[in-house]
Structure 1
Amino acid sequence: MHTPCINEYQLYQSIRRNQAFWSRQLEDYPLLWITVPRAKKGRDLPEPENQQEMWTDIDYFIAYSENTLSRTYFAGDALPVCHPWLGPDQFAAWLGAEITLKPKEFTSWVKPFVNDWSDYPVLKIDPNNTWWKLYIETVRASAQAGQDKWITAYPDLHSGIDGLCAIRGPENLMLDMVAEPDTIHRHMAEMTALWQWIVDQVTAIIAPYGQGSSNWTGGWSRDRFLCIGQNDFSCLISPPMFREFCREDNLQCCGYVDQAIYHLDGPDALRHLPLILELEKLNCIQWIQGAGHPLPSRWLDLLQQIQSAGKTVQLCYAGSHGGDADFFEEIEILCTHLDPCRLFFNIQTDSVEKADALVRHARKICRSAAKNPCSKT
């Protein structure tokens, strides 16, 4: 891994600590990905007339990413990552859905196109699909331009049950799970196989450059590190249905990569936590409390339950998800009541001084603990 965005010593320490986090050998204080956007001088690139071109014009996307990363301040264990994507519904677009891109809002959506499953006996990605070709060429361009500069991330894949929801519609899919369970089981198996195929395609492009891997959640590994299927649709179904239709997909995806993180999105997803904790090869759970809900430090019982099950925990603070929190207080409470070396903070803040102070604060809090702060169990 090489990059001009941070100095050699910080790079060495960041790589060492990120890898130690996954092997349960992290010492002294939590994994800290703290960034300050636009901390360094520079000019914003002029936006294209059509905002879709922010993602569809590969040259523009690469130039924008390089400009953004070169102006970002990386504190603690953070590293520069480029994220080629076409929004959360890109997977559905690869399956043939009509997609609307909204880069300025950092999102996309599709129009469900499956009216009858009998018309789609097999779900597959056509290698000549316009959106797939655009995505994979963007990955290739990022990997080439980013050699010795940044990590090219694995994709944000709303596959699995979320992918079926996108192409069928939530109401229809819920009815199908009752009326046509065998059909949904068959298509879920196809979604798992497609997820694995995509991982292989991206790995073949990025691995030769030796920059390691990351994904939209942050974090770094020298191996294959992915956020497994999002399962946002799980908030609409019961634990028995989640176990019946989603467990095998999650199990297979976790086993296919070297490090896996699960996106646990809000209180409505908590009903499925017992099953998620059963996933032996799942390393980390990203807890997103959701806009309007108490900050992570108010969920200590939940976070202790996750750590007690042998998983690490990622906590994010940006925008409407805790971006206005007192980060110093959050770090102190969480590091005091939890195993700090099985915590992963991803924080976006507004000044270099604050970013560095947060790193010092985390070290101080953990040093002053009455006992060895980090358990290796």
Structure 2
Amino acid sequence: MSFSLKPDYEQSFKRYEAFWEREVIDRPPVCILLPVEKPMEVPKKEYPSQQERWLDIDIRAEADAIRVRNYEYYADALPIVWPNMGPGIFSAWCGCGYHFGEDTAWSEPCIRDWSTDAPKVSFSEEHPLFKATVEYTKRLLELGKGNFIVGLTDFHPGGDHLAALRGAENLAVDLIEHPEEVKTQLKNTQDDFFHVYDFFYNMLKSAGMPITSWTPLIHDKRFYIPSNDFSCMISTEMFEEFFIPGIIEECRFYDRSIYHLDGPGAIRHLDSILSIKELDAVQWVPTAGQEGFAQWAHIYTKIQAAGKSVQLHTISVKELPLVFETLKPEGIWFSSITGINDRYTADEVLKRISAWK
């Protein structure tokens, strides 16, 4: 497997495989993006509406293919492009209304009454937004062949999908007033999701791609990022009763998985998440403005002590000594390190990480 934008792909792939196994070949994988000296101009076009802009698949794919060329993928950074249709696109395919904004999209709940609306919720391959996502993926695969990696879209299944179908506030009440309906719907929608995942997984594998998505991590078989941002609204007891069984089943479905733990409100569920033996790694994402290693060192050490691999997100160069003192290099992935602006600094950082034992 080779990509013109990543000539040393095979060596980086081995480092990521070692990350999954909580091992180290020569050093942990390190992502460093450096801008090219002469970036290409990304085409722009005016549209009457945001929906028309989002659904102009050819222009978007061509812009993606140009944008990915405006960086050097140093160390283990990967040239990844994925067909972004917004975080609720799977829910749209299952019946939710869907609205596109400037930078994101959001869904409109479609289950207003459990008895009359829930039976109507079902994934449809005939949904125009599903067809658009398929076309987007196909176009990226054409442009990416031999050049860059194409990933899966952002599905957001499980609890977040059900929160989209029902509305987060309504779902929080439903856990008390309609527990059986919630559990039944979670089971039904998970079956739909596994079907959808395999559809796009097979597209990527048939094109000779590794598997990746919005998190720039790779594996050669089934890989994804389980999550439940809705969990910030509920107790650990409810999280374990309603959502942990589905997350376990999801992790069993994948060959590799990294849980997306989003924000301080989700920390109370960390023990429950770490108890999932099928889960390989954890991605901790602090609230914006609270990035850095020092204040969250206890979270990272807890994850590593539980035998899970760890994604280090937005760690600064100045914090590297504390990282070395606190953690072990096995099972660590530096997905971004702030304070690196040139090759010299990048090389010095790589030397320091390579010497970490």
TM above 0.5, yes or no, is yes
1:320 alignment partner in structure 2? none
Q: Classify the secondary structure of the residue corresponding to 1:52.
A: helix
2:18 to 13, 17, 20: 20
Does the 8 Å contact 2:159/2:243 carry over to 1?
yes
1:129 alignment partner in structure 2? 127
2:79 alignment partner in structure 1? 80
CA RMSD of aligned residues (A): 2.0
Does the 8 Å contact 1:265/1:288 carry over to 2?
yes
Does the 8 Å contact 1:315/1:345 carry over to 2?
yes
**CA shift at 1:360, angstroms?**
3.1
Output the CA distance in 2 between the equivalents of 1:349 and 1:12: 25
Q: Does 1:361 align with 2:349?
A: yes
Output the CA distance in 1 between the equivalents of 2:280 and 2:123: 29
2:9 alignment partner in structure 1? 11
Output the CA distance in 2 between the equivalents of 1:209 and 1:334: 38
Q: Does 1:60 align with 2:49?
A: no
Does the 8 Å contact 2:212/2:218 carry over to 1?
yes
Q: How many residue pairs were aligned?
A: 355
Give unpaired runs (5+ residues) of structure 2: none
Output the CA distance in 2 between the equivalents of 1:261 and 1:365: 22
1:144 alignment partner in structure 2? 142
Alignment of 1:98-247 (within 5 A): 98-102=97-101, 104-105=102-103, 107-119=104-116, 120-121=118-119, 123-228=121-226, 230-247=227-244
1:343 alignment partner in structure 2? 332
| Per-residue deviation, residues 40-81 of structure 1 (Å, max 9, x unmatched) | 421121234244344311111210111011111211111111
| Per-residue deviation, residues 134-167 of structure 1 (Å, max 9, x unmatched) | 1122112222321111221122122211111112
Give unpaired runs (5+ residues) of structure 1: 318-324
**CA shift at 1:23, angstroms?**
2.6
Deviates more, 1:33-42 or 1:217-226: 33-42
Compared with structure 1, are the counterparts of its residues 4 and 48 closer, same or farther at alpha carbon in structure 2 (3 Å cutoff)? farther
TM-score by length of 1: 0.88
Does the 8 Å contact 1:192/1:252 carry over to 2?
no
Compared with structure 1, are the counterparts of its residues 282 and 39 closer, same or farther at alpha carbon in structure 2 (3 Å cutoff)? farther
Does the 8 Å contact 1:30/1:362 carry over to 2?
no
Q: Classify the secondary structure of the residue corresponding to 1:299.
A: helix
Output the CA distance in 2 between the equivalents of 1:346 and 1:125: 33
Compared with structure 1, are the counterparts of its residues 180 and 19 closer, same or farther at alpha carbon in structure 2 (3 Å cutoff)? same
Compared with structure 1, are the counterparts of its residues 212 and 172 closer, same or farther at alpha carbon in structure 2 (3 Å cutoff)? same
Does the 8 Å contact 1:334/1:340 carry over to 2?
no
Does the 8 Å contact 2:82/2:213 carry over to 1?
yes
Does the 8 Å contact 1:35/1:349 carry over to 2?
no
Output the CA distance in 1 between the equivalents of 2:171 and 2:162: 7
1:89 alignment partner in structure 2? 88
Q: Classify the secondary structure of the residue corresponding to 1:31.
A: coil
TM-score by length of 2: 0.93
Q: Does 1:267 align with 2:264?
A: yes
Output the CA distance in 2 between the equivalents of 1:329 and 1:350: 8
Does the 8 Å contact 2:82/2:214 carry over to 1?
yes
